[in-house]
Structure 1
Amino acid sequence: MSDDEPTRNISGGDAGGGAAAAFDASEDPDAPLVERVVDRLGERYWQKTYGGQDAFECLVRTVLSQNTSDTASQPAHDALMARYGPEPADDADVDADDDLAAALADAHQPDLAETISSAGLYNRKSETLVRLAERVLDEYGGAAGFDAFVKREDPDDVRDALLDMKGVGPKTADCVLLFAGGRDGVFPVDTHVHRIARRMGFAPPDADHEAVREAIERDLPAEKCGFGHTAMIQFGRDFCSARKPACLDDPEACPMADCCAQVGVYPDTGEVVDPADATDTAD
């Protein structure tokens, strides 16, 4: 994971269709741990509702974000939209097209790769984007048809269709469902969420990304999943980092210390390991 992370999580913000929303914390002391954690995060981070992004642009943005930070993928997205979006820059050597899928399907792959080079793995990502654009154009008639499919059809059917696309994994599919479709009950699992869920103890230490998603979506009220996803990412950046979580030096430095199992974190020795490699998971 890159150390070059933004200081503020922009996922679900105004550009993503987010809107301010009240957050309803549970008053049940016996609520599942993940709900109590998300409720606690509501005291620290902003609250948003989700949905509203164009589905194909959301898919493009998420592909660009794979295996890199927002600070690297955001400029790549901006450059791609300037060159291939509905209103390309004046000096772009492509024709204006109201359909981003059509524009990318027709893109010269080396030129696209150069355009998105800041995102890393740009050759592979450019090939993926052209292939996805061709499929969206062929199966849905373009970005508008794909957007309607994502927002109107059964979310399980949408997820299955997305996962059937080469280059689209569970996190990418779930981000499209959440940020474009605005679907309740969808909790994308990135590296932050995967680590925190197992470290805090609301998913098994050896759970893979899909098992973590299933555990969270089972125990967390559907309407809290969107906010929980972005807030947990921000918590991971601010406090629960992979190599040096805040509790390592000072237990009181972490706002979640009293409800965390600290699986794989050993303040006495200063050691931090992947929860799956922890030796005290039965405690």
Structure 2
Amino acid sequence: MSDDDREPDVNISGGADGGGVAAEFAPGEAATRAEAVVDRLGERYWQKTYGGKNGFECLVRTILSQNTSDVASQPAHDDLVARYGPVSELATNLADIGHDELAETISSAGLYNQKSEVIRDAAAWVLDEFGSTAAFDEFVAAGDPGEVRETLLSVSGVGPKTADCVLLFAGGRGGVFPVDTHVHRIARRMGLAPADADHEEVREALEDAVPAEKCGFGHTAMIQFGREYCTARRPACLDDPEACPLADLCDQVGVYPETGELVDPADAAEAD
């Protein structure tokens, strides 16, 4: 794996230092089109097994990433850990600080007032339910995945994508394909999920169609693909139908290179 192909440091998984190890799999004969997409992305980007991140830090990092870019949320995470770390004491320290102080610390992440409340509540919840971040980490890594997911979803401000990221990046669980805005857009645009599918329906479609050991990699690689090629406002195929490395695997739902028109896949399905 060349340096150019390594996972970017500025993303939710934390790059080379974010836990997990580089992994390789032979693409072989894909059983589904979604698996073929993931295999093709493997030739362009990188492959990695996940796990090993501190569970509570991963929870906080994912909350910070909600509705903003990694470029904005990463500095907020770094400032928070520098001010209230070490990581082993993060929950205790965050549960005791005031809202305004935390909001100021994470202001670069956007929606800082809302995220401050969610993070403080999550810290108090971890300590109340598990007694320590170490016990919470063990629950995330060794507990029944369905139970872990449902438990995380019971926390105010923690949605499916956040819960799935904790399962993947901290728990190292196979078969978990978190769905953010990039994955939601691309899966429907390519026809890998129904055009009108919500985030949970996209997740179910991808987890059913992609082998468990490829789901985590598929998530992070698809995000990178969405940033570079299948962007929200101007996918590469609009300018050059042959510019996209996945063109032969894509249904182009809502994308019309002939006219340059671009609509949400759900709207395109309704028009048809």
More helix by share: 2
8 Å contact kept, 1:203–1:216: yes
User: How far 1:10 sits from its partner (Å)?
Assistant: 3.4
**CA offsets, 1:106-153, max 9 Å, x none?**
111110110000001111101111101001000000211110110011
Q: How many residues align?
A: 264
TM-score by length of 2: 0.94
After TM superposition, the structure 1 = structure 2 runs for residues 8-157 of structure 1, keeping only pairs within 5 Å, are 8=8, 10-12=11-13, 13-28=15-30, 31-86=31-86, 98-157=88-147
User: How far 1:279 sits from its partner (Å)?
Assistant: 4.7
**CA offsets, 1:27-82, max 9 Å, x none?**
24xx2110000000010001111000000000000000000001100000000001
Identity of aligned residues (%): 70
Please say which of residues 53-62 and 19-28 is displaced more in the overlay: 19-28
User: How far 1:268 sits from its partner (Å)?
Assistant: 1.2
Amino acid at match of 1:16: G
Check if 1:223 corresponds to 2:213.
yes
C-alpha separation in 2, matches of 1:167 and 1:127:
9
C-alpha separation in 2, matches of 1:102 and 1:24:
44
TM-score by length of 1: 0.90
- Unaligned 5+ runs, structure 2: 1-6
**CA offsets, 1:11-35, max 9 Å, x none?**
432231031111221324xx21100
Q: Which residue of 1 aligns with 2:3?
A: none
- Unaligned 5+ runs, structure 1: 1-6, 88-97
8 Å contact kept, 1:263–1:280: no
Task: Decide which of 232, 236, 245 is 1:255's aligned counterpart.
Answer: 245
8 Å contact kept, 2:58–2:170: yes
Q: Which residue of 1 aligns with 2:167?
A: 177
